[in-house]
A and B are shown apart, each in its own frame.
Chain A
Amino acid sequence: EPEVTQTPSHQVTQMGQEVILRCVPISNHLYFYWYRQILGQKVEFLVSFYNNEISEKSEIFDDQFSVERPDGSNFTLKIRSTKLEDSAMYFCASSRKGTGKGRQPQHFGDGTRLSIL
């Protein structure tokens, strides 16, 4: 069964450094998402991406964050200058385009654990 893959599984970075998290969505999916989960807290939405542009973003997704689909398969999340509070699990998700009421569900990768020192 096709799945969303994320690399690396664990990233350790010094505060203030840039980090890029990578995702390969399911191949026939058109909508892409990033979520994060701080330890012990809810999964929170960061950003959605469709047709090569951001569809929606949360308050968390400030100017330090950016997303890109550099080619036909990868979807990346960049954090420009990491802060201690950016430490979390980052999940990529993707979904197909549904028709009418049949909006397709989002499928998640296993995440990247980001640790900021």
Chain B
Amino acid sequence: QKEVEQDPGPLSVPEGAIVSLNCTYSNSAFQYFMWYRQYSRKGPELLMYTYSSGNKEDGRFTAQVDKSSKYISLFIRDSQPSDSATYLCAMKSCGNTPLVFGKGTRLSVIA
């Protein structure tokens, strides 16, 4: 079983749609959960950062973590063409431990 699984897509939605992106994981030691956005030929850009279970909202973005199900989600409301990118989930356990990434989901928002 892979440590972090993420559907690579591609996912194509019309402008204004609500987008739901998800990852599952197997390591119960993971405590910190992140979503990064990666544009073509650029580095991962931090979008959301959450600790343990719960929800976090920042503008049009909402991150949810369900540790009991080992499942995390990112919701994008009122999606824009500029949201077209690859979205990477990443997670880590406590301490100075490395990030473990999902494969990324490629999202296209069509105007």
The total of chain A residues at the interface (CB under 8 A) is: 28
B: interface residue count bin: 20 to 34
Is the beta-carbon distance between B49 and A108 smaller than 8 angstroms?
Answer: no
A80 to chain B, nearest CB (A): 22
Residue pair B43, A50 in contact (C-beta under 8 Å): no
What sequence of 0s and 1s flags, for each residue 77-117 of chain A, a beta carbon within 8 Å of any chain B beta carbon?
A: 00000000000000101000000011101111111010000
Kindly state the separation between the CA atoms of A110 and B38 in the bound complex, as whole angstroms: 9
A-side contacts of B94, CB under 8 Å: 103
Contacts of A75 in B (CB 8 A): none
- Indicate if the CB atoms of A42 and B103 lie closer than 8 Å: yes
How many A-B pairs have beta carbons closer than 8 Å: the answer is 56
Main secondary structure, interface of B, reads loop
Partner of A48, one of B88, B96, B101: B96
Within 8 Å of chain A (Cβ to Cβ): is B100? Answer: yes
The 8 A CB mask of B88-100 against A (1 = contact, 0 = none) is 1010001111111
Binding site for A on B (CB under 8 A): 32, 34, 36, 41-46, 49, 51, 88, 90, 94-104
For the complex of A and B, the 9 pairs showing the least CB-CB separation, nearest first, are: A45-B98, A108-B43, A43-B101, A110-B43, A105-B49, A108-B44, A111-B43, A42-B101, A42-B103
Task: Given contacts A58-B98, A109-B43, list 13 more A-B pairs with CB under 8 A.
Answer: A4-B43, A42-B103, A42-B104, A56-B97, A56-B98, A93-B99, A103-B51, A103-B94, A105-B34, A105-B49, A106-B99, A108-B43, A108-B45
